[in-house]
Structures are given as C-alpha cells and as structure tokens.
Amino acid sequence: MAHDRVMTITTQPTNANPAPSSTTVNVSAAPAQHRPIWTASRVIALVFTVLEVLLLVRFAFKIFGANADQPFTSAIYGLTEPLVAPFRGIFAQPAGTPVIEIAALLSIVFFILVAALVVALVRAYTGRRAESSA
C-alpha cells in the first residue's frame, strides 16, 4: 500500500468528553491512478449512448408513425440512416408500411455490443499502461 496516505483527525473536547482525541484514517489514492481509464471509458460510453438514444428515437418515431416531412423527424431519420442501412434487408419486412423497423432494432443491439467491446478494450489497454508506469 505504497499509495496510501495517512490522515489524523483530531476532535475538539466536548462537555461529555473533556479530553481531545485523535483518530488515524488511511485514505487510499488508488482511484486517482485509474483516472485515464475512467475518463476514456466515459467519453466512449457517452458517444455510444448518444447514438443509441438517436436510434431509439428513430425506432419510436417509426412505431408511432411520425410524419417524415416534419423537420425534426426528418433530421433524426437523416442522422440515423447511415447507422441503420447496413442492417436493412437482413430480415424480410412485411409488405406495406413497416410497423416495427427490424433494421433499427438490430442496429441498437449492434451498437450496444460494440460499445461494451470498445470500453473493455480501452480499459484493458489503459490499465496495462497505468500498471507499467506505476
């Protein structure tokens, strides 16, 4: 425990306890050395969370039959189309207006898995670097 700090806390005397007392507390500095791991992981998780939320909004718009001519809906469809396009055609859609967009669901699942993999890789890589520099 070479990274631990020792703090001494002194309490002031009170009427019930007239003598001052000291308590020694060990405070670990370990979380500070893992800061790059958590910062990178949080940034990656944030990016993927934004993508997943956009895809979920697209999915909800499709289910509820949102007006594609409305600018906000059109912007969501435009932003998410490149993320959904690779999954289009994997499963057959029924003829007519799709009620459930399967490609969007596949895209959401795919990005959840990719986010978990990327975060795990970043933690593994930055963890090794942190261990070698310590």
Domain regions of the chain by residue span: 33-133
Nearest to 59 by CA among 113, 98, 112: 98
The pLDDT, as a whole number, for residue 43 is 87
Q: Is the pLDDT confidence value at 55 over 90?
A: yes
pLDDT (tens digit per residue) in 30-43: 555 556 667 778 88
Residue 21's H or E segment, with its range, is strand 21-27
The pLDDT, as a whole number, for residue 1 is 43
Chain-wide mean pLDDT for the chain? 78
The pLDDT, as a whole number, for residue 42 is 85
pLDDT (tens digit per residue) in 65-88: 889 999 999 999 999 999 999 998
